[in-house]
Amino acid sequence: MVVPAHVREDRRLPRGRDDRPRRLTSSVTTTSTSSTTTSTVTPPLLVTTGIFLCDPIACPLAPATAAVTRGQLDDAGNAFSSFTTPGVSTAGDIAFSSRVGSSGFHGSGVYIRRSGGDIETVALTGDPVPPPSPTAVFKKLTDPPAMSPGGKVTFRGRIKASASPRNRRGIFLAE
């Protein structure tokens, strides 16, 4: 379930400032509580090819395992094309944003790749924004999401509302 945590009017940033996500050079490590394996997600490999898992004991000698790759399809048949830096839970679940597309649809989405390999859609461009906001849809979901150790996902999104001000930004929580 996705709930809005904070929604505000979309305002332009002063010249010279931007809020685009930055590429990280450090790695994010998580230890699975349901097994004895430890996985590392390496951000430098995210931007164009996918999200990869690597056992920190064997890396970089052993090859990383692909968790999600460009061209792979989500549950609506949209192909992933680029990825943000992921958030990782202690259970090994991975939250990420991706640009996606299929014939007739190009947008972005927030996803959770479960430790078992299933990929769940949290929100997609064009999906309705949950109440209490006025009728609105997600317009852009390209910022990196955050994931708590317990698996809750927070993400920022630009939304288009039916009432003024029409362009807004919000912070959302998926539980």
Q: Which of 1-10, 19-28, 48-57, 80-89 has the lowest mean pLDDT?
A: 19-28
CA 65 to mean position of chain CA atoms:
19
83-105 pLDDT tens trace: 988 998 988 899 999 999 888 88
Q: What is the pLDDT of residue 132?
A: 66
Please check the confidence at residue 78 and state whether its pLDDT lies above 70.
yes
- Contacts made by residues 96-100, CB under 8 angstroms, sequence distance 24+: 96/46, 96/51, 96/68, 96/144, 96/145, 97/141, 97/142, 97/143, 97/144, 97/145, 97/155, 98/68, 99/142, 100/74, 100/124
Instruction: Give per-residue pLDDT as tens, 8-36.
Output: 444 444 444 444 433 333 233 333 332 22
Condensed to tens digits (0 to 9), the pLDDT of residues 103-115 reads 888 999 999 999 8
